[in-house]
Amino acid sequence: MSLVELIAQADERGLAASGLACLDRCVPLLGGEDEILRPVWASLSDGAEAGEWGERLEQARGKLDAAGAGDEAAALAHRMLEAAPAERSAADVRVWADACSVASLQIHRLLDTAEDEASCVDSRREGSTDGMSPLVAAELRRQITVLEVLAGHGPAGLRRALEVSVEGRRVLRAVVSRRSRHQS
pLDDT in tens, 132-160: 889 999 999 999 999 999 999 988 999 99
Record the pTM: 0.93
The whole-number pLDDT of residue 66 equals 54
pLDDT number for residue 69: 59
65: pLDDT confidence band, cut at 50, 70 and 90?
A: low
DSSP state of 129: -
Of residues 145, 144, 112, 149, the one with CA closest to residue 131: 112
Q: Which residues contact 110 (CB under 8 A, 6 or more apart)?
A: 71, 72, 73, 76
Angle between helices 72-83 and 90-111 (to 10 degrees): 170
What sign has the CA pseudo-torsion 137, 140, 146, 147? Answer: negative
Domain range holding 89? 3-183
Angle in degrees, CA 40, 162, 145, rounded to 5: 125
Q: Which of 50-54, 90-94, 117-121 has the lowest mean pLDDT?
A: 117-121
**Rg, C-alpha atoms of the chain:** 15
- What is the domain count for the chain? 1
pLDDT tens for each residue of 93-125: 999 999 999 999 999 999 988 887 777 888 888
